[in-house]
Structure 1
Amino acid sequence: MSNPKVQAVFFDIDGTLLGLKSKAIPDSTLEALALLKMQGIKIIVSTGRSYEHAQFLASYGFDGFITFNGSYCVDNVGKPFFRHTIDIDDIRLLHNHLHTIDNFPVGVMTTEGSFISDITDDVTAIFKLLKLEVPRPQPFADALETEVLQLNLFIDEDKEAHLINKVLKNCESSRWCPEFIDVNARGISKQIGMEQFFARFGLSAARTMAFGDGGNDIQMLRTAGIGVAMANAGDNVKAVADYVTDTTEDHGIWNALKHYGVI
């Protein structure tokens, strides 16, 4: 029997809709999405990816997309209705850091598309693992001439702490992949993206569910009325969840929706 309280369900992509091992959406998840749609429950993607790398999901009937961790929200026909860019002063400071102190690959997501400052073996390996096309190589200096929605810094945790505290002072970071961090304007998170859809569809946060597995999903799981962590999530993610389900390949989304009587 369906749960009449749930108005919308938000889904992360990597490790949630797509299995970490299979890189595919299980049939059980596709059936669950169809059942949610049949009940009039909104289904919304919430990802650190760009819309370009998420729009393959549009054919499954999603009602919208939170992309770049809340920096860029798009409706069901691909029309953006919210965006928030990184302060140009932070871009200048990072450019100076890369030029004079420590150079490492930086992915740059702009309102016009994405590029990366350097393609190393690590960069190639992670994009192959995610089954994504490596962005075009382009000097980081080009970021000074455009609006930047998100950065991907290929650095370890020690460098992350220094850069966020000393260089990217108007930004904050999240990590859903060991090899790099997502950097967004301070205050931007998937929660902010959710709030855009709350207003757009007249949703109550208490009447939503969210599924995720990464550090960038923590705010989303806290915001939703029911936050579900996948079995492959880190302990910090599981700690904020209301429920921990199975992995994607083991029908985690289906099982959690059944557990709460939503489908």
Structure 2
Amino acid sequence: MKKDSAKDIKIAFFDVDGTLVDMEKKVITPAMIETLKHLKENGIILCMATGRGPYLVPSFPGIDFDVFLSYNASYCYTKDEVIFSNPIPKEDVKAIVENASEIHRPVFLAGVEGGGANGCDKDLADYFAIAKSKVNILDNFDFEKLMDKKVYQMMVGCYKEEYADILRDVDGARITAWWTRAADITPANGNKGVGVRKILDYYHLDKENAIAFGDGTNDIEMLEAVGTGVAMGNATDDVKAVADAICGHVAEDGIYHYCKEQGLI
């Protein structure tokens, strides 16, 4: 992005883990807080785009995000209204639970206000620990009762070679992974890129008015959906390959330095 185009930026999308927050330290830095405050003061809409659900979205001191793309954009909302709701088809939820059980993998079903799992293993527990959370294991995993509620995302501990087994005979869901030992399962027709377009339409903004920062494979569509997609220095190679720019590592306040250099703050 050229400095003289910084004035065209009206909205900024941020992934959380590995982007806003170092996954090792698990806390946001003062420089990143300063960055978000200055962007807000400069009239830029702040959007958090995360695989986390609304009940696990982090809050940062002195920062009010304007809009949220939760569950990898399956559920997008502001504090006042829901912008986009895209649950996983119920028949696919059932198939995934059954497929995962066959390979001895417990699954967490997530709705707007939380959810529950039919068990837990180390991979799933460690995955939730990244968000400083614990797996809610339901003593009575009543599948039919759970199906009364919309499932926006499913989480399962697994490796890439297990993906095909988990998604056997499933048409309406896909795996969106940003960690090698677990995966988010989201609607097949949704991703962060779809969410970005819904949000841009909501605010009557063009692609060129948007910038996004991300580090994981589930951020690729988001970076492609904005005018300026920025990969973190710690991003995976496939993310860097589609990015318009690469900033510094999250542990070195890469976003702060990029925004300073580009005149955004």
Partner Cα separation in structure 1 for residue 116 and residue 191 of structure 2: 22
Q: 1:39 aligns with which of 42, 45, 48?
A: 42
Structure 2 counterpart of 1:114, one-letter code:
G
SS in 2 for 1:219: helix
The ranges of structure 1 where at least 4 consecutive aligned residues each deviate by more than 4 angstroms after the TM superposition are none
Partner Cα separation in structure 2 for residue 249 and residue 160 of structure 1: 31
Measured after TM superposition, the shift of residue 92 of structure 1 is 2.2
Partner Cα separation in structure 1 for residue 149 and residue 208 of structure 2: 38
| TM-score, normalised relative to structure 2 | 0.90
Cα distance change, pair 143–59 in 1 and its aligned pair in 2 (3 A): farther
SS in 2 for 1:86: coil
Measured after TM superposition, the shift of residue 98 of structure 1 is 4.0
Cα distance change, pair 22–108 in 1 and its aligned pair in 2 (3 A): same
8 Å CA contact retained: 2:117, 2:137: yes
Measured after TM superposition, the shift of residue 31 of structure 1 is 1.0
Partner Cα separation in structure 2 for residue 140 and residue 162 of structure 1: 23
SS in 1 for 2:259: helix
Pair 1:193-2:195 in alignment: yes
TM-superposition CA deviations, 1:205-232 (whole Å, max 9, x none) = 1121100001110000111111111111
Q: 1:19 aligns with which of 9, 18, 22?
A: 22
Pair 1:157-2:173 in alignment: no
Cα distance change, pair 140–24 in 1 and its aligned pair in 2 (3 A): farther
Measured after TM superposition, the shift of residue 19 of structure 1 is 1.1
Partner Cα separation in structure 2 for residue 233 and residue 239 of structure 1: 10
Q: Residue in 2 aligned with 1:106?
A: 107
**Worse overlay, 245-254 or 9-18:** 245-254
Measured after TM superposition, the shift of residue 202 of structure 1 is 1.3
SS in 2 for 1:52: helix
Q: How many positions carry a matched residue from both structures? A: 259
Measured after TM superposition, the shift of residue 32 of structure 1 is 1.1
SS in 1 for 2:56: coil
Note the 1:213-232 alignment, pairs <5 A. Answer: 213-232=215-234
SS in 2 for 1:232: coil
Cα distance change, pair 228–177 in 1 and its aligned pair in 2 (3 A): same
- The CA RMSD measured in Å over matched residues stands at 1.9
Q: Residue in 1 aligned with 2:53?
A: 50
Partner Cα separation in structure 1 for residue 216 and residue 146 of structure 2: 27
8 Å CA contact retained: 2:100, 2:106: no
Q: Residue in 1 aligned with 2:238?
A: 236
8 Å CA contact retained: 1:26, 1:248: no
Partner Cα separation in structure 2 for residue 125 and residue 199 of structure 1: 37
Cα distance change, pair 58–89 in 1 and its aligned pair in 2 (3 A): farther
Partner Cα separation in structure 1 for residue 24 and residue 202 of structure 2: 35
| TM-score, normalised relative to structure 1 | 0.91
8 Å CA contact retained: 1:211, 1:228: yes
Partner Cα separation in structure 2 for residue 181 and residue 140 of structure 1: 23
Pair 1:172-2:174 in alignment: yes
Structure 2 counterpart of 1:62, one-letter code:
F
Partner Cα separation in structure 2 for residue 44 and residue 53 of structure 1: 15
Measured after TM superposition, the shift of residue 203 of structure 1 is 1.2
Structure 1 counterpart of 2:114, one-letter code:
G
SS in 2 for 1:9: strand
8 Å CA contact retained: 1:95, 1:140: no
Partner Cα separation in structure 2 for residue 85 and residue 104 of structure 1: 22
Q: Residue in 1 aligned with 2:65?
A: 62
Q: Residue in 2 aligned with 1:118?
A: 119
TM-superposition CA deviations, 1:132-171 (whole Å, max 9, x none) = 221310227254342110111211111113433x232211
Measured after TM superposition, the shift of residue 57 of structure 1 is 4.1
